[in-house]
Amino acid sequence: MTFSALGLSDEIVRAVTERGYTEPTPIQAQAIPVVLSGGDLLAGAQTGTGKTAGFTLPILQRLTASAKPVTGKAPIRALVLIPTRELAAQVEESVRDYGKYLKLTSMTMIGGVNINPQIQRLKSRVDILVATPGRLLDHLQQKTLDLSHIEILVLDEADRMLDMGFIRDIKKILAILPRQRQNLLFSATFSDEIKNLADGLLNKPAMIEVARRNATAELITQKIYPVDRERKRELLTHLIKEHNWHQVLVFTRTKHGANKLAEQLNKDDIPALAIHGNKSQAARTRALAEFKTGKLQVLVATDIAARGIDIIELPHVVNFEMPNVSEDYVHRIGRTGRAGSEGEASSLVCIDEHKLLHDIERLTKREIPVVQVPGFEPDPRIKAEPILNGQNRGQGGGRKQQGQGQGQGRGGQGQARTRAAPRTGSGPSRTNAATGKPAARAPASHRSGGYGR
Ligand code: AMP
């Protein structure tokens, strides 16, 4: 299968070939013909599957094919709604890149930056608008945006959009769009809420589902490193230095935890920066750019801030703290081993997180190999403690309360969605031989005491 065989124009094929794509990914092979035909689409696909090109390429083609000569200012014809700023910026960058041999223009519309340059930009031609819902509504309120000529609407990462509390914003936006239009909805998961949204939005949609990443994670080597909560930073530094990891994306549960860890790593002579919703957009963009070019060895991120980070062949993802929501584990490790390259996802797990680990293994239907680093064996006398507001006591730096919102969502985003149940009893630590390699699994009866399995 080639991109030309899917009916894409020479200009588009040239742009994707230059980007290094030799053949369409499964989501692209299925979605492109549907979108080109003008029909609605409901697609189950996660980040990492190539879904962005799956909708962008045929949209570029359709807008080019049906371009009408316009007098005066051309209207905005396609709207792509995206939950987070980073992802919006990346999608728009892809639109520009894939469309570089076409005459179409695009714009990113996100919060966290001054609105005035966006108002200025809207005075010139924009064919494709890539926006986060909050800022888009700000523009509508200020009457600086006209969406009355939208022909194609994309809701990307719809499940995440709902998780972040954007449903009311989305409904407001849908209400002002022209009725006659093509709708494309992408979501990694299909809750009843998503099904309701799809029912109200889509007209006889084609349905496509590509394998979830948690079913196709063979390219990602996953490992669990047991460690006491107070020694995680020490172990992380050890792993980075010992294995000479040069580009590591590290996840923490909270903004405060991210800041603190980045500071500590810097003290250990490991260049690190934190990105999260409290940082300015400029600081986040700069950190991401430095990380991408390899200047910055470690990027510490919270889940929302890291959504959509697209770094080709990112070799290492580390869960410094396990996520409260199991699906976030899949999203996190999906940052590595992308589009055919191999990656390693390491989780530093302390006794408080056994229940979270258990939930993740249930979701992904696989047991993650355990590696015990010599000298970091958990102390069996340490008891599990509840994880309150995302923070383990040991990593909280004495702050009891820490907001979890990432500053991008509107309503609903700030709350922890689940709270880890404390595990009682310290249980014996894993008995793996300290080989530094993934240990052979102990029989289930042995495991149950140690890792919440
Ligand atoms: P996405 O799921 O859209 O975030 O894309 C994930 C990654 O796959 C991005 O780094 C894309 O540049 C890359 N990608 C998309 N399509 C292809 C393709 N056909 N061949 C190789 N890489 C691709």
Do 77 and 116 sit in the same domain of this protein?
A: yes
DSSP code, position 272 = E
137-194 pLDDT, tens digit each: 999 999 999 999 999 999 999 998 998 889 999 999 999 999 999 999 999 888 888 9
Q: How far, in Å, from the CA of 144 to the mean position of ligand 1?
A: 33
Q: How far apart are CA 223 and CA 240, in angstroms?
A: 14
Q: In the predicted model, is pLDDT for residue 446 greater than 90?
A: no
Q: Considering its fold, how many domains does the chain have in total?
A: 2
- The pLDDT score that the predictor gives to residue 338 is 55
Q: How far, in Å, from the CA of 362 to the mean position of ligand 1?
A: 28
Do 201 and 225 sit in the same domain of this protein?
A: no
- The pLDDT score that the predictor gives to residue 276 is 80
What does 90-136 look like in DSSP terms, one character per residue? HHHHHHHHHTTTSS--EEEE-SSS-SHHHHHHHTS--SEEEE-HHHH
* Cα 406 to Cα 62, 267, 275, 411, distances in angstroms: 36, 26, 10, 11
Answer whether 416's CB lies under 8 Å from 389's CB.
yes
- The pLDDT score that the predictor gives to residue 64 is 94
108-133 pLDDT, tens digit each: 999 999 999 999 999 999 999 999 99
Largest CA distance in the chain: 76
One-letter amino acid at 343 equals G
3-class secondary-structure state, position 371: coil
In a domain, 214, yes or no: no
* Cα 62 to Cα 7, 10, 32, 152, 338, distances in angstroms: 11, 14, 11, 10, 28
- The pLDDT score that the predictor gives to residue 108 is 97
**% of the chain residues with pLDDT over 90:** 57
- The pLDDT score that the predictor gives to residue 292 is 82
For tokens 């949609």, the residue is 205
One-letter amino acid at 330 equals V
Q: Give, using CA atoms, the residue closest to atom 11 of ligand 1.
A: 50
Do 191 and 238 sit in the same domain of this protein?
A: no
- The pLDDT score that the predictor gives to residue 78 is 98
Domain carrying residue 132: 4-209
Please identify, among 209, 230, 261, the residue that sits at the C-terminal boundary of a domain.
209
In a domain, 452, yes or no: no
Tell me which residue of 194, 162, 242, 185 sits closest to 39, measured CA to CA: 185
Do 151 and 261 sit in the same domain of this protein?
A: no
Please identify, among 209, 235, 257, the residue that sits at the C-terminal boundary of a domain.
209
* Cα 442 to Cα 33, 423, 448, distances in angstroms: 48, 20, 10
* Ligand 1 atom at minimal distance to the Cα of residue 47: 2
Q: How far, in Å, from the CA of 21 to the mean position of ligand 1?
A: 8
Ligand 1 — pocket residues by CB below 6 A? Answer: 21, 24-25, 28, 47-53, 310, 312, 338-339
Query: Residue 161 is part of a domain; what is its CATH number?
Result: 3.40.50.300
Do 275 and 418 sit in the same domain of this protein?
A: yes
Q: How far, in Å, from the CA of 326 to the mean position of ligand 1?
A: 24
In a domain, 361, yes or no: yes
Q: In the predicted model, is pLDDT for residue 439 greater than 80?
A: no
- The pLDDT score that the predictor gives to residue 410 is 39
Answer whether 28's CB lies under 8 Å from 50's CB.
yes
Q: In the predicted model, is pLDDT for residue 18 greater than 50?
A: yes
- The pLDDT score that the predictor gives to residue 173 is 97
In a domain, 403, yes or no: yes
Q: How far, in Å, from the CA of 25 to the mean position of ligand 1?
A: 8
Average pLDDT for 275-291: 82
Q: In the predicted model, is pLDDT for residue 408 greater than 90?
A: no
Do 131 and 195 sit in the same domain of this protein?
A: yes
Q: How far, in Å, from the CA of 53 to the mean position of ligand 1?
A: 7
One-letter amino acid at 247 equals Q
42-89 pLDDT, tens digit each: 999 877 788 999 999 999 999 999 877 666 678 999 999 999 888 999
Average pLDDT for 326-350: 80
Q: How far apart are CA 335 and CA 25, in angstroms?
A: 17
Do 392 and 429 sit in the same domain of this protein?
A: yes
In a domain, 453, yes or no: no
Q: Give, using CA atoms, the residue closest to atom 5 of ligand 1.
A: 50
- The pLDDT score that the predictor gives to residue 328 is 84
Do 397 and 363 sit in the same domain of this protein?
A: yes
* Ligand 1 atom at minimal distance to the Cα of residue 52: 3
Please identify, among 181, 209, 237, the residue that sits at the C-terminal boundary of a domain.
209
Average pLDDT for 245-252: 93
Do 94 and 239 sit in the same domain of this protein?
A: no
* Ligand 1 atom at minimal distance to the Cα of residue 23: 19
Q: How far apart are CA 449 and CA 132, in angstroms?
A: 45
* Ligand 1 atom at minimal distance to the Cα of residue 94: 12
Q: How far, in Å, from the CA of 164 to the mean position of ligand 1?
A: 25
Do 120 and 181 sit in the same domain of this protein?
A: yes
